[in-house]
Structure 1
Amino acid sequence: MTDLIAALDIGGTKTQLILEDLAGNRVLDVTEPSLEWDAEPEPEAARWIAERVARHTPDGASIVALAFGAQGINRTETGKALERELEALGYRTTAVNDASLIVVAAGFTTGIGVIAGTGAIAVGADAAGRFMASGGWGWIIGDEGSAAGLVREATRTALRANDEGKPDDGLLGHLIAAFGVADAERLTRRVNDDPTVDNWAPHAPAIFAAADAGSALASTVINEGGEALAALVDQLLSRGAAGTDVVVAGSVIVNQPRLREAFAAAVTSRHPELKVHVLRDAPVEGAVQLARRAVGS
């Protein structure tokens, strides 16, 4: 019988599953859709995870530790309930919010994780290990600094300037081109008629292109996005978040230096004791580390 650990990163659109033996040899690394995932009710969520782990566990192998980060674990109680449910199914389990994986994946035991990709959220824990989160409200009413949030705010900013009769400084033109429409009025319709993350988020690069081309409006939107992400860190610290390391992940903040620099400047100006790090590994590596800790390897 071969002993294996299982690690998962369960997001709203996809799940990555890794199996390793206790010597650290990677047996499996697979990504599957997870559009139907929901962390609650916990018994159903536990069965959802167990089914996927069992399906990929080789014959003659045993999972001695399972760790995962999942979207929707926004309360400590939810994580604990999932651990109990999975342990009843035979899996020794560690469950955390998916954003919590990035601090562990970066090699830290405490700290604040900030994800700015399609959406935006910051997570941490207090000195007693109690989970806390800030942001993550979704692209319609929040997620400032995310791809979708930036597109929302950039469109508002460009349309407001247009209504005021100001000449386009490049932001409106870049958005019109990105959405493939003819003018500002049609941009309004294209954005509002399909208010989904799939419609908004992919056009975020147009904002950065406009800023690179000299748009002051685009630069302002990006800087305000960085400030909004830094405010999430402020909120967690005010509630007792432990650690002096802030780890950022997510496609926008990792790949767009303007946003990352605006965020880091805002954080360190208010909290000089904090250090900002960029996660270069996949977040699932944090789940691998949690599973290894569970078996003492």
Structure 2
Amino acid sequence: MGPHVATIVALDAGGTSTRARGVRDGRVVHEGVGGPGNPRTVKGDELVASYTEAFAGCPVADLVVACVAGAGTLDMRAVVEDVVSSLQPGACVHVVPDYVAAWRAVSPIADVAVIAGTGSVVCTPDDSGGWDVSGGRGWILGDHGSAARLGQALLGWYAESPSELPEWVRSELRTRYGSSDWHWLVRILHEGSAPASLLSRGAPILTALADQRHPRATEILRTEMALLAAMTSQHVTRLLGAEAPLRVGLVGGVWRAPSAVTAFAEALSSQHPTLRLADDRPRDPLDGAESLAHDLRVTS
């Protein structure tokens, strides 16, 4: 029998989905997706079910690195570690906040990471090996530019003035929510255990409308991205100085929409001229989680 070849698993868990990638000897041996994996917004059996689905069919792992939204405190990291350890009992498990993976994904090209997924966060590493983070307050008090906020705006608009929206929007709502009746939408949002995840389903509809240059969708997107750009500018000014010429890297699903990237870039240029996008291609935080897992495997 030859030498043991380790299997490492990288996890990216957020407010909408939990994604797992298993790698052995440089080859991807597992890819899985589960439901929301943020331990602050999803609890108990539902949280376990999300991680179980992501790990379904995964080989036995030697190392699991879980980069998780909501895991900024020891108690939340312990919750995730317990769940992952129950699914991979022989593995060494490391749990870190999701922005660590985001930073790893953009660090080759950028000085600042701006995450716009279910929520929104701006982060940079500090001089002590820790992290400086702005945002992450959730869709009720913050998360401007996030999928949850964009979806919330879309659904509010639809409930208020459904006739303003083209017919294809109703079809998309039926696909994403099971119905285009706004009464139904209100009901599932109030009864659902993970409203941010539900709201996020509407974000691609709003950005698609903005990509088509629908005036109201464009206005909503510009307003949200201006607020996210303001948070980015304030973060950089507070930590690095107003005149620092820095590159901004984009991470998260919202940035797949060209209209979102354009709106953010225009707002950032207006508010903080020394900041610029490293490029307009969003990075995948799961790639950052895998990079971190490889490094931890080498040093462990």
Q: Shorter chain as normaliser: what TM range?
A: 0.5 to 0.7
Query: Cα RMSD between the aligned structures?
Result: 4.5
User: Structure 2 matches for 1:87-106, cutoff 5 A?
Assistant: 91-92=91-92, 94-106=94-106
Is the 8 Å Cα contact of residues 155 and 172 (structure 1) preserved in structure 2?
no
User: Which residue of the partner structure matches residue 216 of structure 2?
Assistant: 217
Cα 1:54–1:232 shift into 2, 3 Å: same
> Matches of 1:127 and 1:187 in 2, distance apart?
52
- Say if 1:13 and 1:157 are closer, same or farther in 2 by CA, change over 3 A: closer
CA shift in 2, pair 1:31/1:13, >3 Å = farther
Aligned amino acid, residue 10 of structure 2:
A
What is the CA deviation profile of residues 194-224 of structure 1, one whole-angstrom value per residue up to 9, with x for unaligned ones? 4344654333344345445654333221111
Q: 1:126–1:203: structure 2 CA closer, same or farther, 3 Å change rule?
A: same
Q: Aligned partners of 2:253, 2:37: CA distance in 1, in Å?
A: 23
Structure 1 CA distance, aligned partners of 2:156 and 2:55?
44
Residue 284 of structure 1 and its aligned partner are, at CA, apart by 1.4
- The two structures have a TM-score, normalised by structure 2, of 0.67
Deviation at 1:249? 2.6
- Residue correspondence of structure 1 range 2-13 to structure 2 within 5 A: 2-13=5-16
Output the amino acid matched with 1:203.
G
CA distance in 2, matches of 1:54, 1:173: 43
1:173 matches 2:171: no
Alignment of 1:244-263 (within 5 A): 244-254=246-256, 256-263=257-264
Question: Are residues 1:33 and 2:31 paired?
Answer: no
Decide whether aligned partners of structure 1 residues 96 and 36 sit closer, same or farther in structure 2, where only a CA change above 3 A counts.
closer
* Contact kept in structure 2, 1:174 and 1:207, CA below 8 Å: no
Q: How many residues align?
A: 271
1:178-197 alignment, distance < 5 Å: 178-179=169-170, 189=183, 192-195=186-189, 196-197=195-196
Q: Map Cα deviations across residues 64-111 of structure 1 (whole Å, 9 max, x no partner).
A: x4422112122489669988997xx77555432223312312353974
Aligned to 1:165: none
Distance in 2 separating the partners of 1:200 and 1:53: 25
Counterpart amino acid of 2:9? A
- For structure 1, the residue ranges without an aligned partner over 5 or more in a row are 163-170
Q: Say which SS state the counterpart of residue 115 (structure 2) adopts.
A: strand
**Residue 23 of structure 2 corresponds to residue 20 of structure 1:** yes
Cα separation, partners in 2 of 1:219 and 1:81, compared to 1, 3 Å:
closer
* 1:13 shift after superposition: 4.2
The runs of 5 or more residues in structure 2 that have no matched partner are 42-46, 174-179, 190-194
Counterpart Cα distance in 2 of 1:175 and 1:133: 39
Question: Is the radius of gyration larger for structure 1 or structure 2?
Answer: 1
Structure 2 partner of 1:233: 232
Q: Does the CA contact (< 8 Å) of 2:252 and 2:283 recur in 1? A: no
Matched to 1:7, the amino acid is A
Q: State the identity %.
A: 23
TM-score normalised by the chain length of structure 1: 0.68
C-alpha separation in 2, matches of 1:176 and 1:295:
51
* Amino acid corresponding to residue 169 of structure 2 in structure 1: A
Taking the TM superposition and a 5 Å limit, the aligned residue runs for 1:92-131 are: 92=92, 94-108=94-108, 111-131=111-131
Do the aligned residues in 2 keep the contact of 1:99 with 1:114 (CA within 8 Å)? no
Provide the secondary structure at the position in 2 that maps to 1:240: helix
Q: Distance in 2 between matches of 1:211 and 1:194?
A: 26
